[in-house]
Amino acid sequence: TSTKQYPISYTQLSTAERNRLYELKTTTSLSLRAIGRELGRDVSTIARELGRTRGEEGYYLPDRAQQRMQKRRQQSKTAFSQV
């Protein structure tokens, strides 16, 4: 039996998804898994987003998360283009 492998496709969270994530995280007691279902994203994406973009204060802010994503994206393009 041969299993067909497909390329992994990853789309970053949109600004609207980040805002909704913040809203769900701060106003409900939903689990990360339930938040992922609500957003149509895997729980690992939600956990990674919350862990990667927490501020020094220890909590998630969607505007800061968007800025950090844009900075990471710009740095990766710069580094890649220099190869």
HSE-CB at 57 with a 13 A cutoff on CA atoms is 4
Residues 17-26 have pLDDT tens digits of: 999 999 999 9
Residues 31-73 have pLDDT tens digits of: 999 999 999 999 999 999 998 888 777 888 899 888 888 888 8
Q: What pLDDT shows up at residue 81?
A: 61
Q: What pLDDT shows up at residue 55?
A: 72
| Average pLDDT value for residue range 6-18 | 78
Question: Which stretches of the chain are DSSP H helices?
Answer: 15-27, 32-39, 43-52, 62-81
Q: What pLDDT shows up at residue 24?
A: 96
Q: 39 to each of 3, 13, 18, 43, how far by Cα in Å?
A: 29, 10, 10, 10
Q: 4 to each of 1, 7, 9, how far by Cα in Å?
A: 10, 10, 15
Q: What pLDDT shows up at residue 53?
A: 81
